[in-house]
């Protein structure tokens, strides 16, 4: 809200541009100019990459982006209802990945027939069991976090809950390191989903591999997103969540048990993180205590990019971030190691230029 | 007459602010009872103490023979008390229909839900026309209708209304009060809070006058309307 100290007569009032706005405009213009320059360069000058390579980038971006979207939903759900960033969310995902890892290890060790294991004799059942384990562990962890780290601090300043969330994140990371050792473990997928296998499509005369895991993860993520959207828009629980997000006291006056719905929201957000963890393991193949950290931050970025608190926004934000991150280094002519820098630059730029995100409304809506 | 609600010398605090200083009142079945009083007298706090938004530090709230003083508000809705709160508190980004559905959150019976929805739509035809619109797009008068309709969706045995006329044009105030009167005649027991004492008392069986957290006067609606002190302080006459 703008507070004006002096009111000049209408019409005579000059719009004063603050120095900060000047900086904003200069930065925005430079970035736009640079992006346009790179666009013409990539299109007309440089032919380092063919269409097939761009397609590979795009596919890998869509897959990772879909997982970001699933994780981002968890941030956005919790933010929407409590205006709090659950920074331990990435760790909740990591624990889900571990649970699935152990399920695969165990099933892979159970012999079935002469040459093969339960894992490969019943791959579908194995995958379902892995998802059940991963999602249960993460659901439980979401509930536990809410109970232990956030509920006691509710009603206090929001910064306190944020600090508690960061503490919980560090705690879980270190606890996982102690329990499971810092060793990087290879995820033992069932054979039919082995990593690197896939089908090929020809693009401008060259084969482009579409991996089975990537397809599985992409489709699985979209299904989860659709399910979540249905839950929030169409069920009694979802209606309660949206009501609490708008006005907790009025929601309680409707007979909604606010504490219980908040706990259920953490459970749902944990379940999503767990599923994302399992998919992450299946697709990337490595689990250790640190795997939740970067995807967590990226998904947070995605949630902010889409408009934090906004569920379709988190979905769109995740996909956009995944794709931008995958295409970005080649597009900008940068080293591929710099994709994380691109992602976090986007976070900063969004926060500076459009804090409400792509789909979000203005965040300052008397909620703070 | 059967007693529905009995409030027995409650004291409610906000931190150190002693907002209610021993309020006692009662509401009998089928009555419409009004609390009047100036700004900050404690009217909203009284309603909020009854429905568990805030809790009394001393004293008792008894609803249909049961002590509900310490129950959380969602349990109190389950017991049969709903409120249309001050400022309406419509869920702006939920549709009108969703707002009404939330009003029936504690009632799981589908047939009953349909019946109550029909009832509310019959009472407020404009809500029916606007049922797919976002709550936030309604006019002030429509939002007030929605707030009352939403509170009726739980089929309450006691309906609390906090300043339903607030910010409305006189003709709308008239319309809202006609409906409140009708709801009461059709059997809903109502505890009403109003700044607009004239119109509220004229439809009320009884009334209480609140001042600085205490009840200073009580009587039938007619008695209060003709009481010199009430006329001077709340009806703007000298
Ligand atoms: N949430 C609150 N926090 C602190 N004080 C409050 C709060 N709500 C009301 N009060 C105080 O309690 C007293 C009664 O307020 P209220 O019940 O809202 O009065 P009324 O509804 O009659 O205008 C006032 O002095 C008011 O300032
Ligand atoms: Mg009030």
pLDDT in tens, A67-80: 999 999 999 999 98
How would residue A228 be classed by pLDDT, with cut points 50, 70 and 90?
very high
Highest mean pLDDT among A21-30, A119-128, A301-310, B98-107: B98-107
Average pLDDT over residues A286-314: 90
pLDDT confidence band for A14 (50 / 70 / 90) = low
Q: Is B14 on the interface with A (CB under 8 A)?
A: no
Quick one: which of B120, B55, B28, B47 has its CA closest to B89? B47
**Residue B173 contacts A, CB cutoff 8 Å:** no
At residue A367, does pLDDT exceed 50?
no
Q: What is the pLDDT of residue A6?
A: 47
Which residues of chain B lie closer than 8 angstroms to A247, CB-CB?
A: 89, 91
Alpha-carbon separation of residue B166 from B85, B135, B232 (angstroms): 11, 18, 21
Separation of alpha carbons A133 and A331, rounded Å:
40
Predicted local distance difference test score (pLDDT) of residue A362:
47
pLDDT for position A13? 59
Coil vs helix vs strand at B164: coil
- Which tokens go with B221? 């609606």
The whole-number pLDDT of residue A2 equals 44
Report if residue A73 sits inside a domain: yes
Please report the pLDDT score of residue B28 as a whole number: 96
- Percent above pLDDT 70 for chain B: 99
Rounded percentage of chain A residues whose pLDDT exceeds 90: 51
Spatial contact of A327 and A57, defined as CB atoms under 8 Å apart: yes
pLDDT at position A19 = 79
**Closest residue by Cα to residue A166 from A105, A84, A239:** A84
Query: Is A311 a member of any domain?
Result: yes
Minimum-distance ligand 1 atom for the alpha carbon of B38: 22
Distance CA B221, CA B204 (A): 5
Q: Where does the pLDDT of residue A35 fall: very low under 50, low under 70, confident under 90, or very high at 90 and above?
A: confident
β-pairing, B206-211 vs B214-220, is antiparallel
Residue of chain A nearest B87, judged by CA positions: A250
Neighbours of B15 (CB within 10 A): 6
In this model, does residue A100 exceed pLDDT 50? yes
Measured between beta carbons, which residues in chain B are less than 8 angstroms from residue A246? 91-94
Cβ atoms within 10 A of the Cβ of A327, count? 18
User: Is B150's CB within 8 Å of A247's CB?
Assistant: no
Residues belonging to chain B: 238
Say yes or no for a CB contact (<8 Å) between A252 and B74: yes
The answer to whether the beta carbons of residues A123 and A192 sit under 8 Å apart is yes
Distance from the CA of B165 to the center of ligand 1, in angstroms?
19
Q: Looking at the complex, does the CB of residue A11 fall below 8 Å from at least one CB of chain B? A: no
A249 touches chain B (CB under 8 A): yes
Is A10 among the domain residues?
no
- Classify residue A313: in a domain, yes or no: yes
CA dist list (Å): B77 to A97, A243, A250, B157, B191: 42, 16, 12, 10, 15
User: Which residues are within 8 A (CB) of B43 and not within 5 positions of it... i.e. 6 or more apart?
Assistant: B35, B36, B37, B162, B163, B193, B210
Half-sphere exposure of B46 (CA within 13 A, CB side): 36
When scoring A80, A81, A241, A255 by the number of chain B Cβ atoms within 10 A, the one with the most, hence best to mutate, is A255
* Distance (Å, whole) CA B154 – CA B107: 6
**Residue A43, in any domain of the structure:** no
Residue-level pLDDT at A1: 41
- pLDDT at residue A5 in the model: 46
The number of domains in chain A is: 1
Q: Do A240 and B82 touch (CB under 8 A)?
A: no
- d(CA B61, CA B72) in angstroms, rounded, equals 13
Mean pLDDT score across all residues of chain A: 87
Does the predicted interface ipTM exceed a cut of 0.85? yes
Residue A26 has pLDDT above 90, yes or no: no
Interface contact flag, B98 A239, Cβ < 8 Å: yes
Distance CA A183, CA A249 (A): 48
Q: In this structure, what token pair is assigned to residue B227?
A: 């009481």
Interatomic CA distance for residues A255 and B77, integer angstroms: 5
A37 located within any domain? no
Q: Write down the pLDDT at residue B29.
A: 96
With a cut of 80, say whether residue B47 has pLDDT above it: yes
Q: Which residue of B has its CA nearest to A237?
A: B105
Beta strand ranges found along B54-170 (DSSP E): 58-63, 66-67, 81-84, 158-162
- Chain B residues within an 8 Å CB radius of A240: 102, 105
Residue of A239, A247, A255 with shortest CB distance to B77: A255
CA proximity to A136, closest of A102, A186, A179, A178: A102
Among A48-62, A88-102, B47-61, B118-132, the minimum mean pLDDT is found in A48-62
Cβ contact B85–A254 (<8 Å): no
Interval between CA B164 and ligand 2 midpoint (Å): 11
Which residue, judged by its Cα, is nearest atom 16 of ligand 1?
B42
Categorize the per-residue pLDDT at A213 as very low, low, confident or very high, splitting at 50, 70 and 90: very high
Look at residue B64 and give its three-state secondary structure. coil
Contact B38 CB / ligand 1 (< 6 Å): no
Domain that holds residue A70: 51-361
Say whether B73 and A251 touch across the interface (CB within 8 A). no
pLDDT digits (tens, 9 = 90+) for A234-274: 999 999 999 999 999 999 999 999 999 999 999 999 999 99
What is each CA distance from A53 to A57, A63, A196, A325, A339, in whole angstroms? 6, 16, 17, 15, 16
Alpha-carbon distance of B21 to A240, in angstroms, equals 35
Answer yes or no: is A31 within a domain. no
Q: Do B77 and A246 touch (CB under 8 A)?
A: no
Q: Which of A193, A176, A166, A180 is nearest to A278 (CA)?
A: A193
Distance CA B226, CA B228 (A): 6
Classify strands B81-84 and B158-162 as parallel, antiparallel or unpaired. parallel
Residue B45 CA: which ligand is closest?
1
Confidence of residue B236 (pLDDT cuts 50, 70, 90): low
- Three-state DSSP at A50 gives coil
Q: Decide: A195 and A213 in contact? Cβ < 8 Å.
A: yes
More confident residue, A54 or B132: B132
Does residue B37 have its Cβ closer than 6 Å to ligand 1?
yes
Give the pLDDT confidence score for residue A230 in this predicted structure. 95
pLDDT the model gives residue A338: 85
| SS3 label, residue B9 | strand
Instruction: Note the pLDDT of residue A363.
Output: 43
Nearest CA in chain A to B53: A249
Question: Which of A5-19, A128-142, A291-305, B193-207 is predicted with the least confidence, judged by mean pLDDT?
Answer: A5-19
Measured CA to CA, the distance from residue A65 to residue A327 in angstroms comes to 12
Q: What mean pLDDT do residues B9-19 have?
A: 95
Residue pair B20/B14 in contact (Cβ under 8 Å)? The answer is: no
Contact B89 A256 (CB under 8 A): no
pLDDT (0 to 100) of residue A9: 52
Counting from 1 in the atom list of ligand 1, the atom nearest the Cα of B42 is 17
Whole-number pLDDT of residue A366: 37
* Residues A320 and A65 sit within 8 Å (Cβ to Cβ): yes
A226 CB within 8 Å of a chain B CB = no
- Cβ-nearest to B53 among A249, A254, A256: A249
Tell which phi-psi region holds residue B19, choosing left (phi > 0), alpha (psi between -120 and 50) or beta.
alpha
In a domain, A55, yes or no: yes
pLDDT recorded at residue A3: 44
Give the count of Cβ contacts less than 8 A between chain A and B: 60
For A1, residues 6+ apart whose C-beta sits below 8 A from its C-beta are: A364
Residues paired with A203 in a beta bridge: A206
Residue B59 near residue B50, CB atoms below 8 Å: no
B124: closest CA of chain A, how far (Å): 20
- CATH classification of the domain holding A78: 1.10.3470
Q: State the pLDDT at residue A8.
A: 47
pLDDT class for A12, splitting at 50, 70, 90? low
Partner residue facing A243 (CB), from B53, B94, B106: B94
């Amino acid at each position: 809200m703008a507070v004006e100290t002096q009111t000049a007569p209408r019409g005579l009032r000059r719009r004063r541009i603050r120095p900060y706005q000047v900086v904003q405009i200069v930065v925005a213009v430079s970035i736009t100019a640079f992006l346009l320059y790179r666009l013409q360069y990539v299109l007309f000058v440089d032919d380092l990459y063919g269409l097939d390579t761009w397609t590979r980038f795009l596919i890998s971006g869509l897959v990772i982006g879909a997982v970001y979207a699933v994780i981002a939903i968890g941030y956005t759900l919790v933010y929407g209802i409590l205006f709090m960033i659950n920074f331990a969310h990435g760790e909740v995902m990591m624990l889900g990945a571990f649970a699935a890892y152990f399920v695969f290890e165990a099933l892979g060790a159970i012999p079935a027939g002469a040459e093969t294991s339960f894992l490969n004799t019943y791959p579908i059942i194995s995958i379902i069991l892995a998802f059940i384990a991963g999602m249960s562990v993460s659901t439980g962890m979401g509930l536990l976090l809410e109970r232990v780290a956030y509920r006691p601090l509710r009603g206090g300043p929001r910064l306190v809950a944020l600090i508690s969330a960061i503490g919980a994140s560090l705690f879980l990371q270190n606890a996982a390191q102690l329990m499971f050792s810092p060793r990087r473990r290879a995820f033992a997928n069932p054979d039919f989903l082995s990593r690197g296998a896939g089908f090929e499509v020809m693009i401008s005369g060259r084969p482009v591999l579409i991996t089975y895991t990537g397809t599985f993860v992409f489709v699985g993520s979209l299904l989860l997103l659709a399910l979540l959207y249905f839950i929030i828009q169409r069920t009694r629980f979802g209606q309660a969540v949206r009501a609490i997000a708008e006005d907790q006291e009025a929601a309680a006056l409707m007979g909604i048990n606010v504490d219980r719905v908040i706990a259920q929201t953490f459970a749902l957000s944990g379940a999503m993180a767990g599923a994302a963890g399992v998919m992450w393991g299946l697709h990337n193949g490595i689990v250790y205590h640190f795997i939740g950290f970067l995807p967590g931050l990226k998904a947070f970025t995605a949630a902010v990019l889409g408009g934090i608190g906004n569920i379709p926004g988190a979905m769109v934000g995740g996909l956009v971030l995944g794709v931008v991150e995958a295409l970005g280094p080649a597009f900008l002519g940068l080293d591929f190691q710099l994709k994380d820098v691109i992602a976090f630059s986007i976070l900063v730029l969004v926060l500076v230029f459009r804090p409400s995100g792509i789909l979000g409304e203005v965040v300052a809506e008397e909620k703070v | 007459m059967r007693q529905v609600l009995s409030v027995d010398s409650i004291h409610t605090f906000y931190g150190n602010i002693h907002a209610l200083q021993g309020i006692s009142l009662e509401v009998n079945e089928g009555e419409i009872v009004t609390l009047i009083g100036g700004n900050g007298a404690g009217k909203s706090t009284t309603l909020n103490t009854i429905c568990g938004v805030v809790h009394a530090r001393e004293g008792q709230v008894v609803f249909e023979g049961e002590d509900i003083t310490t129950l959380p508000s969602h349990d109190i809705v389950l017991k049969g008390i709903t409120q249309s709160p001050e400022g309406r508190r419509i869920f702006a980004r939920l549709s009108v229909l969703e707002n009404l559905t939330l009003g029936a959150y504690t009632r799981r019976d589908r047939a009953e839900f349909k019946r109550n929805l029909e009832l509310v739509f019959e009472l407020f035809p404009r809500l029916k026309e606007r049922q797919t619109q976002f709550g936030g797009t309604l006019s002030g008068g429509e939002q007030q209708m929605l707030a009352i309709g939403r509170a009726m969706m739980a089929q309450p045995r006691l309906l609390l209304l906090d300043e339903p006329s607030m910010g409305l044009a006189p003709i709308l105030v008239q319309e809202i009060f006609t409906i409140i009167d009708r709801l009461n005649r059709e059997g809903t027991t109502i505890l009403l809070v109003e700044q607009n004492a004239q119109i509220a008392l004229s439809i009320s069986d009884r009334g209480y006058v609140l001042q600085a957290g205490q009840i200073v006067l009580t009587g039938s609606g007619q008695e209060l309307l003709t009481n010199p002190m009430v006329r001077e302080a709340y009806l703007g006459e000298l």
